[in-house]
């Protein structure tokens, strides 16, 4: 019989949301009557992950404890920890709070349209290959440009995917990759699959996410997320 593996979701909500241009950080803004952060916590709470680590701003720990985790009875949240100045430092703090787990699903709280299917597909794949991310094939032609915005290349569209979260890894591997990244003093990091490629030479499997799994980044994204959530019905 296969040994039970422990799976932890790390939900990142420690950003400032500068591109949203709102006083309230976007993860706490109202979306269909609940804070944006509620939706991804709810999906993980209802999934087969064993527990959840919530990473938030140091001044918002108490708010999250009472107004989100307490209020909505998210029993799987085992730790609420402060994030760092960059997303990867927030991930690092989340990983530190997840010691003892076997696998982590790292997710942006700014993606409230996460679905049960996405979580399930991520779990199945990470148990198999040890490193996966959800994403979607790009719909537009993508141009590589030079410093003057002159198009210098057009990569073949059938090889291009837009990456989303959750990004899922074997805990030991991602922790080791972070240790090496920290030692190297790298700052040019935009996601965790990049850290695995650079510091562990480990390839990540891309699996299908959902075109609805958008990241709320600028104000118009909120209206789009509202439409998608209403379509998902049970979320609102």
Residues numbered 86-105 forming contacts with ligand CTP, rule: CB under 6 A: 86-87, 90
Site map (CB under 6 A) of ligand CTP, residues 102-141, x = contact: ------xxx-------------------------------
Neighbours of 133 (CB within 10 A): 25
Helix axes 36-45, 116-129, angle to 10 degrees: 60
Q: Which of these ranges, 15-23, 136-144, 197-205, 222-230, lies near ligand CTP under the rule CB under 6 A?
A: 15-23
Q: Which of these ranges, 14-22, 72-80, 190-198, 227-235, lies near ligand CTP under the rule CB under 6 A?
A: 14-22
Minimum distance, C-beta of residue 171 to ligand CTP, in the bound complex (Å): 19
Minimum distance, C-beta of residue 47 to ligand CTP, in the bound complex (Å): 18
Task: Select from 7, 10, 15, 170 the one that contacts ligand CTP (CB under 6 A).
Answer: 15
Task: Decide whether 24 or 233 has the Cβ nearer to ligand CTP.
Answer: 24
Identify which of 61, 54, 183, 166 has the alpha carbon closest to the alpha carbon of residue 118: 166
Give the footprint of ligand CTP on this chain (CB under 6 A): 12-19, 27, 55, 83-87, 90, 108-110, 215, 217
């Amino acid at each position: 019989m296969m040994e039970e593996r422990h799976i932890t979701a790390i939900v990142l909500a420690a950003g400032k949301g500068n591109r949203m241009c709102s006083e309230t950080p976007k993860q706490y803004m109202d979306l269909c009557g609940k804070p944006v952060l509620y939706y991804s916590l709810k999906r993980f709470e209802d999934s087969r992950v064993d527990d959840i680590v919530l990473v938030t701003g140091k001044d918002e720990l108490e708010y999250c404890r009472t107004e989100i985790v307490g209020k909505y009875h998210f029993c799987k949240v085992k730790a609420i920890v402060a994030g760092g100045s960059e997303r990867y430092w927030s991930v690092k703090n989340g990983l530190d709070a997840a010691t003892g787990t076997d696998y982590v699903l790292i997710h942006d709280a700014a993606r409230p349209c996460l679905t049960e299917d996405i979580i399930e597909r991520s779990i199945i794949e990470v148990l198999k290959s040890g490193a996966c991310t959800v994403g979607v094939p790009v719909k537009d032609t993508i141009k590589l440009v030079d410093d003057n915005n002159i198009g210098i290349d057009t990569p073949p569209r059938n090889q291009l995917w837009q990456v989303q979260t959750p990004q899922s890894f074997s805990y030991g591997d991602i922790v080791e990759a972070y240790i090496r990244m920290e030692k190297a003093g790298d700052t040019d990091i935009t996601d965790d699959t990049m850290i695995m490629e650079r510091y562990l030479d480990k390839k990540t499997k891309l699996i299908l996410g959902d075109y609805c799994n958008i990241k709320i980044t600028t104000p118009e994204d909120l209206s789009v997320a509202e439409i998608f959530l209403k379509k998902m019905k049970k979320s609102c």
